[in-house]
Chains A and B, each alone.
Chain A
Amino acid sequence: GDSVTQMEGPVTLSEEAFLTINCTYTATGYPSLFWYVQYPGEGLQLLLKATKADDKGSNKGFEATYRKETTSFHLEKGSVQVSDSAVYFCALSHYNQGGKLIFGQGTELSVKP
């Protein structure tokens, strides 16, 4: 079956450091790929998405590129802020399965001043 694997956390960075959170997936066909973010005490919200190979999703300084050849969707940000501290989830879904999301285990990011 389909699956998503993320790098384990927690990840601790200093403010203005470069961030990479690795995500790889196993899926049949051509899934859409997502990054969701969960701030402390809140529900998940969409950070960015990509629906086909070589698409780049971007939002709030975060970027991720859909790499079909390596089945990856790594999340990057050039300069993190304390306010980026959160749990980040990589996920996939298939067009014919509506909103049925398959999540990675989540990566906790802590940014120190």
Chain B
Amino acid sequence: NAGVTQTPKFQVLKTGQSMTLQCAQDMNHEYMSWYRQDPGMGLRLIHYSVGAGITDQGEVPNGYNVSRSTTEDFPLRLLSAAPSQTSVYFCASSLLRDRNTEAFFGQGTRLTVV
């Protein structure tokens, strides 16, 4: 059981480049989300999805796009990378309506924009 798989683990981009961070889960979770982790700020929600074909914005969505064509996959696209997007990105998944739900996290992608 792989859980949540993120790729790549490390990436360096030049300002203005675009890229896609991949996230896949094999637990049949309806809910998937992307967070960014910055020092002293905890994790902030970028985008989330409650099921295939449904996405919504989180706290810090600007500069990012997502899509959810299948239950398993939830890629995050950086449209035109900026130094302010240097961060560690985490994908997470969970069951949707369960008070005891546990979020499962990927191992993260460390992105540096130069």
Which of A42, A49, A98, A100 is within 8 Å of B100, CB to CB? A49
Chain B CB count within 10 A is highest, among A46, A51, A100, for: A100
Main secondary structure of the interface of B (DSSP, over half): loop
Per-position contact with A for B1-41: 1 when CB-CB < 8 Å, else 0? 00010000000000000000000000001110101000011
Q: Which residue of B lies closest to A32 (CB)?
A: B99
Chain B stretch 36-80: residues in CB contact (< 8 A) with chain A: 40-45, 48, 50, 58
Q: Which residue of A lies closest to B44 (CB)?
A: A103
Q: Which residues from A are CB-within-8-Å of B4?
A: 43
B41 to chain A, nearest CB (A): 6
How many residues on B have C-beta within 8 angstroms of the other chain's C-beta atoms?
32
Check A98–B50 contact: CB distance below 8 A. Answer: yes
B94 to chain A, nearest CB (A): 3
Check A42–B99 contact: CB distance below 8 A. Answer: no
Q: Which residue of B lies closest to A44 (CB)?
A: B105
Per-position contact with B for A84-96: 1 when CB-CB < 8 Å, else 0? 0000010001011
Which of B58, B90, B98 is within 8 Å of A44, CB to CB? B90
Check A98–B42 contact: CB distance below 8 A. Answer: no
Q: Which residues from B are CB-within-8-Å of A103?
A: 35, 42-44
Q: Which residue of A lies closest to B108 (CB)?
A: A43
Chain A CB count within 10 A is highest, among B98, B103, B105, B107, for: B103
Contacts from A to B (Cβ < 8 Å) = 4, 32, 36, 41-46, 49, 51, 89, 93, 95-96, 98-106
A/B interface sample: 10 pairs, CB < 8 A: A4-B42, A32-B100, A36-B105, A43-B105, A89-B43, A98-B95, A99-B94, A99-B95, A101-B45, A103-B43
